[in-house]
Amino acid sequence: MQTSNPMEAILNKLQEARNNGEKMFDFTLSNPNLGVSNAMKSILISVVDSARNEDFGYAPSQGLLSTRQTIADDLNLQAQRNWSVTAQDITIVPGAAGGLCALFKALLQQDDEVIGVKPYFPSYTHYIENAGAHYVPVDAHEDFALNIDNVIAAINEKTKVILLNSPNNPSGVIYSAEQLAQLAQKLTELAQHGQKIDVISDEAYARVTYDSASVPSIIDFYEHSIRVVSFSKDLGLAGIRIGYIETTPNYRMLKLQDKLGAMIRNLGFVNTSTLAQKALLKGLNETVSIEYYQAQKDQIVAILDELNISYCAPKGGLFLLAKSPIDDSGLWISTLLKHGVAVVPGSLYGAPAYFRISTTIDEQQINASKGSWKAALAELSC
């Protein structure tokens, strides 16, 4: 029986296989597999150990002032904006997902439109619809680079937000400074003609890049820019839920951060984990080993190369977007599944000819999966 969501059959099969004790190679996961660094673990323990009573209580909706200041200081040091980032430019959020939901609710009205770029994280649609608005994703270039003409062409009077995601989930593409500057210039012209469009930049993978690639941000080029950052991957705090929203000085007078605080209360988030916020005071840069993630990625790449399966070479993130070796990508994915390999259909990300492979699997498992990949390909080549 066909199910409406192509993931449902895959997840059911995975569950069934697990229940039967069968071996499955699960490349659907978006779960970081390295946990936290040892230093972060020690910091978390010391935070609990030395916690005062109020450290377990409710925190301000926008986050602890000390944590907001710590992040602002770090941005002044590391990102080196052309302005001084202050605590009032930072709101602590329970992860990028919560941050995006609060932001969309703060910025959008009923039937507004948000332009995004394919491929995109599928939950965006829900986050935007929660705010009563509509998501309008446009095609990227063939190599998944930002297609600025497509973005600009999609703008109409209902457009309030452009949503970027770099490093991109699932393609791993990083948008270049040149592209971002060009987009910023066009949007600045529009703003001068009266249509002020906010750009939200989802930078959940900003510190997960390969070969130490740097990630330019639209915030350095366009004053109506908002960054959404997560500590789920770089610090390994996915399950503990923490990230932040950074805005430009332009938003100080608009009191967007105050509005975000109200949204965090009204949407039921209340506050971000107080213990995670305390941990950031000392552990903001205690990233896990990105080299491990790169090694896992390289190993999957080696299998794909060996099998002559083409893919978008990622510069960051924790995924590989690979092209189905046959025209019928649904058949390819179900054949892989039959042979014990679960991946996610690219159709969920607006890239139906592709499939997404998570690179958060340990090397031993990746190696062990090789035979299954080959068997699936062999079956379809017959």
Enumerate binding residues for a second copy (CB under 8 A): 30-36, 41, 44-45, 48-49, 51-59, 94-95, 97-102, 123, 126-127, 130, 232, 236-241, 265-271, 273-275
225 vs 271, which CB is nearer to a second copy? Answer: 271
- 319-323 vs 354-358, strand pairing mode: antiparallel
Neighbouring CB atoms inside 10 A of 282's CB total 16
318 vs 343, which CB is nearer to a second copy? Answer: 318
**Contact at 8 Å (CB) between 280 and 231?**
yes
- Smallest gap from Cβ 245 to a second copy, in A, equals 12
- Smallest gap from Cβ 43 to a second copy, in A, equals 10
How far is 316 from 208, CA to CA, in rounded Å? Answer: 6
- Smallest gap from Cβ 330 to a second copy, in A, equals 23
| Residue in the block written with tokens 């491929």 | 119
- Smallest gap from Cβ 266 to a second copy, in A, equals 4
Residue 263: exposure state from Cβ atoms within 10 A (0-12, 13-18, ≥19): buried
164 vs 237, which CB is nearer to a second copy? Answer: 237
- Smallest gap from Cβ 309 to a second copy, in A, equals 27
- Smallest gap from Cβ 93 to a second copy, in A, equals 9
196 vs 252, which CB is nearer to a second copy? Answer: 252
How far is 34 from 102, CA to CA, in rounded Å? Answer: 29
186 vs 265, which CB is nearer to a second copy? Answer: 265
11 vs 79, which CB is nearer to a second copy? Answer: 11
75 vs 106, which CB is nearer to a second copy? Answer: 106
- Smallest gap from Cβ 366 to a second copy, in A, equals 16
Spatial strand order in the sheet of 311-312: 311-312, 319-323, 354-358, 344-345
- Smallest gap from Cβ 23 to a second copy, in A, equals 18
- Smallest gap from Cβ 72 to a second copy, in A, equals 20
Please provide residue 228's backbone torsions phi and psi, each rounded to the nearest 5 degrees.
-120, 120
Of 354, 367, 363, which is closest to residue 170 (Cα–Cα)? 354
- Smallest gap from Cβ 95 to a second copy, in A, equals 6
How far is 161 from 140, CA to CA, in rounded Å? Answer: 17
**Contact at 8 Å (CB) between 356 and 321?**
yes
